[in-house]
Structure formats: structure tokens, C-alpha cells
A and B are shown apart, each in its own frame.
Chain A
Amino acid sequence: MRVRDHIGLSFANLWKRKLRTCLTAFGVTIGIGALVSMVSFGKGMQKNVTESFRSLDLFNSLTVFSEDFFTGERFDPDRRPAQPLPSGASRAVLDDAALEKIAALKGVDTVFPDVRIPAIVRFNGKDEFRLVQVIPAKVTSSRMLRFSAGKGYASDEEDSLIISDSLLRQFGVQEPQALLGKKMVISSIGFDFSRLNPANLTAALGGERLPFTTEDTELTIVGVAESQAFAGPIPIQSDVFIPPGVSKRMKKLPFSNIWDLFRAREGRLGYSAINVRLSSPAFVEPVKKEVAGMGLRVFALADQFKEVQKGFLILNMVLAAVGMIAIVVASLGIVNTMVMSILERYSEIGIMKAVGASDRDVRRIFFFESSVIGFIGGGFGFALGWAVSGVINRVVNYFLAKQGVPYIAYFSFPVWLALGAIAFSVAVSLAAGVYPAMRAARVDPVRALRHD
């Protein structure tokens, strides 16, 4: 029998039992729809992270900590104990000397310390508390920062700042362009040495007269940066960025984090971390080695990305397993439909055998019918999964946008998912058709013809 005839016969037979075919295919549609939206969600998340990594140049990035960095393991997915220092190395402080040494290494493009200043950002009569990040002008014009309006500052001394678009929304501004050139006040905290006497300190424990003072610095907004869609240990992550020159002139605490104080060595704090940008991912390994040799601890985001990928593999498998439940139920529906069909067409099978249909022909007739159900169900299932995901994506983004979270496509529908969904649906249907097809092929024509 020709394949064309098989297909034609399948559609003709299924068309004769429209309602049942539709119901069975609908079961498959729901199953495939569930699977498709689950998998596309997993893939969407993975794609978001991968693309962010790539577009932010994170595969080129290293972060350097001092070897005894107290909170180092927060960033360490393996939670491995501090590596033993290479012989001859001593524990180093992350200061400007270390920074310059790293900057001189081959393949290093930009080096800047990770400095974050706790401050109140004041605009439009509203106050927001933020950790203000200090980044050099060179970095503001790199791929690590993307602007929805304006651009980075031209020099490290300029009285400028960059604000993220999510903070901008917090201030009730919708149009980023309108913000450029406006003044914004950064209110930072510094020590008030006049209050640093033992008597006042005792009082401070009671909650009064802490030895701190605040200082307002007025800066001009030159750029609005796009917020990062995901959180993680990435080098550029803040709602407000200022140049190093401004930071130097500002009154500020020499630490942003209480752990920094525990880290102090011989009274020297050093930086909590140094961000390194390489000219190519190929330099990740050699630079890591060199920096480790300096008695420093290096963390490559590219390494963590492997862990992230592993995590996504598990996430995708769990999501697919949930989707599979519906598929299993749907395949039982196919088995039921096909077995019913054999009982109804018992004498028809006998007739076909009497006029020369082989066991294989009969088996194939049933296989084709169940795979046609699978094909229809798979096609509509993909469409359903796509439609439902689209709705969920819109709803979620609508609510998150109100909280200043930038738009994220939570679902991803690569071409292979569409083809894979249909192929998988057909494969499952074929598997569901095995028992009915075998049973149909075994029909005894003599009994079937007496069956009337």
C-alpha cells in the first residue's frame, strides 16, 4: 500500500468519526500545549541569562577578591574551601598597587575597583536609598552598560551621574529623554570627627548622636541605563553610577558592608573586589592563573555560567516532566479511541483482509490513524502553548512593569521546539498505537466476516 493511500485513508476514517477524533486530538493538544509552554519557559529563562551574559561582555569578566575575603563563598557555587596559596605568594591587600599590577597583565582591557557607596538619592522631592556604584568613564561607554537615553560621562572628574531606568520609574518619570541634563542630589554619609570622643560614643550606643554626618552632592544626569533583567554577581549592577573623581571628593564611609570591617588587614581595608575586563574570553584562564599567583582570589563569571547551564538543564527536565504527565494521559486517550475503532470496524478489517490486505497493511492503517491524531494534536498543541505563554508573558510583564522591572520575554519558541513538539506528539501517538495496531492485525478474517 502506498503512503499517500495510507494518509488519505486515515483522514477519511478519522473524518467519519469527527467528534471522537476531535476529542482525542484535543487531549493531545492540551498535553503538547502544557509541554511546549513548560519547555519554552525553561528555554526562555536560559536564553535571557545567556544573552545578558553575552551582551554585557560577562564572558570577558573576572572579579578579584582578597584571598581571605569574608563573604567570598557567597559567590562561590562550589563552596570550596579557600585554595591554598601558591608557594612564595603572600596574602595581598586589594589596593591600588594590586589594581595596577593586574592592569598591566596581558589581555587585561579595563580594571576598576568595586566601590559602592550607601546613599540617599533625591529627585522630584522623593528619597530613595541606593548603593551608588563608582565606575570609570571608560566603562560607561563599553558594552557593559546599555543606555535607553543619553550616554556615559566623558571624564572621571565630571559632575555627572547615570541612573537606571527602573529607579527613574520609582521617581515617577516615564520619559528617560526628559531627564537628561536635570540635577539630582546624592546624599552620602561620612564620619563626623568632631563627634568622635568617648563620651559621645557611649551615648551612641543608646541610639543618639552617632558620629556620622551627611553631605549632599548635586550631579547632572547624563545617561539613563537599562536595568539588568536578572540579578547576580555581575560587575555592573546598581541604580546609580558616578565617576571616580566625584566619589573621591564626596564624604563617604570607607566601607559599604559590615563584612568589609572584618576584612581589614593591618588597618588597611583595600577594595572589597576588583572588576577586570579582558579583551577576549581566551585570556580568562591565563589571567586567572597570574592573579591567583599574586595571592588573590579570582572568580570568573564564565565558570559560573557552566553551573548556571547545569541548573537550567535540571530546570528544563523538571518542567518537561510536568508537561509529560498530560501527554501520558492523552496517549491513553489515543489507545482507547483506537481500540474502540477496532471493535467498530471489526468486519471492515475482515473484508480488507479477505481482499488482500496483509497484516502489515492493517497494522499500518492503524498506525497512520493514530499518528494523524498525534500530528493534529501536536500542531494545535504548539499553537495552544504559544498562545497561553503569550498571554502569561503579557500579564506578568504588565504587573512587573509597574514595579519598574524591564520587559522580559519569559518564553522562548525556537523553531526546533515547534518541529520537536509535533514530532514528539507523533512519536507518542505511534507508541500509543502499537497495541491497537497489533490487535487489528491479528483479527481473524473468517470470524470477522461472520461478525455481521
Chain B
Amino acid sequence: MGNVPILISNLSKVYSTAKVRVAALQDVSLSLEEGVFAAVTGASGSGKSTLLNLLGGLDTPTSGTIEVRGRKISEMSREELALYRRSGVGMIFQSFNLIPGFNALENVALPLMFAGVAKRERRNRAGEVLAQVGLGARIAHRPSELSGGEQQRVAIARALVNRPRVLLADEPTGNLDSRTSREIVTLLAELNRDQGLTIVMVTHEESLAREFAGRGVRLSDGKVQAEERWR
């Protein structure tokens, strides 16, 4: 079990509105071992982001189970899912999703606030993590005063501040130029290598993924089309 931190079995997600039924994921089964850097690729609409949202506890599956580090998140209550998102997993997004009115430090400290950590300690820990991602000097800047790469670094710091063992990245380079994209993926690879962080990254840049990630999962129409081991 310890060696298989992410175990997905027969996972399906169906979005249904009054008229249409869209099966975003159909019967997906997947297992990822501890400390892996996995890249999920596929065309848009293939279900990549849905898979990541389910893994991150932001959404609940229609059927099937998800186990992350021994915890069945597919069976968690809303309250338990909030706890899981708070400290069990970190997420970053294509559009960074930083709170515009907060500066870098406050954004990074936000998850600690929900965890009930005192203000002084929040600031210390947020400062440390920001330094780790190379933003030690820009803690007082608002997101609007930071470049895209810097914003994504703030988002990474925020995802890591509660020390989760799993990091989920949803198109982290989608809004970045190629040079910055490479920097961000390099940073993720370093975190994977140095801290043993399990990373699942959704991306459509397969060449960049192949360069850094250890495993590749290609989705198509909500199904796993191919699973490859790159290194």
C-alpha cells in the first residue's frame, strides 16, 4: 500500500444536465507509486482535468474508487474532503488562482489559516516555502505585480505550505511562455527528486513532459489510451 499512493479503480464521472449526459471519465483504473512524477496528456475534453479534480477532492466521482496514500477519498464527506484538500494534497492551476487582494505571502499562508495555524507561524512558514521556490524577495507583491512564472511559483508554494505528499498540477504551463514553462516544470521535477513529492501533472505539452516526467498516461474520450514508463 505504501508503495502505491494513488490507486484509481473503475472511476467514472458523468456530468448530466437536463438535456445532455456527458461521460467525462469512463471506467478509468490506474495506479501510481509513491514519489512518481506522472504526466497526464490528451486532447482537450479527454477528461484530464476531471481526473485531476477528482484526485484533488474538488469533485466526487459518479462511480469507482480513489485511494490516495491509503485514504479512500471517493468515500469522504464534504468536511473530510476539505481536510484532505487542506493538508493531504496540493493543487496548482493553469490560471494560478491566486487571490488578487492578497500579496504573495498572504496567498501562501492562506491554507495555514484554514488549518488554524497562528499568524506569526503562518508568516514564517509561508516565507520559508516562498524562499524554496525562489521568491524570497517578492513576498510583499500582489499577484498583479508578479510575472506569470512568479505567480505560478507562488501557487506552488501555496500548494506545498501544508506539507502534502502529493502535488496535482492542472496545465501549470498553459499560460506561460516556453522558457518560463521549462523553469516551472524544472522546479516541479526538482521537488519530485529532492523531496520525494508525488506529482501528477496534466499537460498538453507532451515533449516537455517526456523530458522531465517518469510516467505518461494518455487519456482519450475519458478512457486511458496508453500508459508509458519514460524512465
Task: Identify the A interface with B (CB < 8 A).
Answer: 1-2, 4-5, 9, 12, 16, 347-348, 350-361, 445-446, 449, 452
Segment of B78-86, B180-188, B200-208 engaged in the interface with chain A: B78-86
Given A353-B85, A356-B86, A446-B58, are A5 and B115 also a contact pair (CB < 8 Å)?
A: no
Question: Does B79 contact A446, Cβ atoms closer than 8 Å?
Answer: no
Question: Does B99 contact A2, Cβ atoms closer than 8 Å?
Answer: no
Question: Does B115 contact A354, Cβ atoms closer than 8 Å?
Answer: no
Residue numbers in A under 8 Å from B159 (CB-CB): 355
Q: Does B219 contact A (CB under 8 A)?
A: no
Residue numbers in B under 8 Å from A4 (CB-CB): 119
Residue numbers in B under 8 Å from A352 (CB-CB): 99, 110, 114
- Chain B 115-130 against A: per-residue CB contact (8 Å), 1 yes, 0 no? 1101100000000000
Question: Does B99 contact A348, Cβ atoms closer than 8 Å?
Answer: yes
Question: Does A354 contact B99, Cβ atoms closer than 8 Å?
Answer: no
- In angstroms, Cα B98 to Cα A65, docked, is 85
The 3 closest A-B pairs by CB, nearest first: A356-B86, A358-B82, A355-B111
B108 to chain A, nearest CB (A): 10
- Chain B 82-113 against A: per-residue CB contact (8 Å), 1 yes, 0 no? 11011100010101011101000000001101
Given A2-B118, A446-B59, are A357 and B82 also a contact pair (CB < 8 Å)?
A: yes
B100 to chain A, nearest CB (A): 8
Question: Does B78 contact A359, Cβ atoms closer than 8 Å?
Answer: yes
Residue numbers in A under 8 Å from B114 (CB-CB): 1, 352, 355-358, 361
Residue numbers in A under 8 Å from B115 (CB-CB): 356
Chain B residues 151 to 190 lying within 8 A of chain A, measured CB to CB, are 158-159, 162
- In angstroms, Cα B100 to Cα A347, docked, is 11
Residue numbers in B under 8 Å from A355 (CB-CB): 85-86, 91, 110-111, 114, 158-159
Question: Does A356 contact B85, Cβ atoms closer than 8 Å?
Answer: yes
Q: How many residues of B contact A (CB 8 A)?
A: 29
Question: Does A356 contact B162, Cβ atoms closer than 8 Å?
Answer: yes
Q: Does B42 contact A (CB under 8 A)?
A: no
Question: Does A5 contact B79, Cβ atoms closer than 8 Å?
Answer: no
Question: Does A445 contact B111, Cβ atoms closer than 8 Å?
Answer: no
Which of B56, B79, B114 has the most CB atoms of chain A within a 10 A radius of its CB?
B114
Residue numbers in A under 8 Å from B82 (CB-CB): 353, 356-359, 361
Q: Does B26 contact A (CB under 8 A)?
A: no
Question: Does B99 contact A351, Cβ atoms closer than 8 Å?
Answer: yes
Q: What would be 8 A-B contacts, judged by CB atoms less than 8 Å apart?
A: A12-B101, A16-B101, A351-B98, A352-B114, A353-B58, A353-B85, A355-B110, A446-B53
Residue numbers in B under 8 Å from A12 (CB-CB): 101
Question: Does A2 contact B116, Cβ atoms closer than 8 Å?
Answer: yes
Question: Does A358 contact B78, Cβ atoms closer than 8 Å?
Answer: yes
Residue numbers in A under 8 Å from B83 (CB-CB): 356, 358
Question: Does B59 contact A449, Cβ atoms closer than 8 Å?
Answer: no
Residue numbers in B under 8 Å from A359 (CB-CB): 78-79, 82
A331 to chain B, nearest CB (A): 27
Residue numbers in B under 8 Å from A351 (CB-CB): 97-99, 110
Given A356-B86, A358-B83, A445-B58, are A452 and B110 also a contact pair (CB < 8 Å)?
A: no
B112 to chain A, nearest CB (A): 9
B103 to chain A, nearest CB (A): 12
- In angstroms, Cα B78 to Cα A358, docked, is 8
A354 to chain B, nearest CB (A): 6
- In angstroms, Cα B97 to Cα A353, docked, is 12
Q: Could you say which of A5, A16, A347, A357 contacts B97, with CB atoms under 8 Å apart?
A: A347
Residue of A nearest to B59 (CB): A446
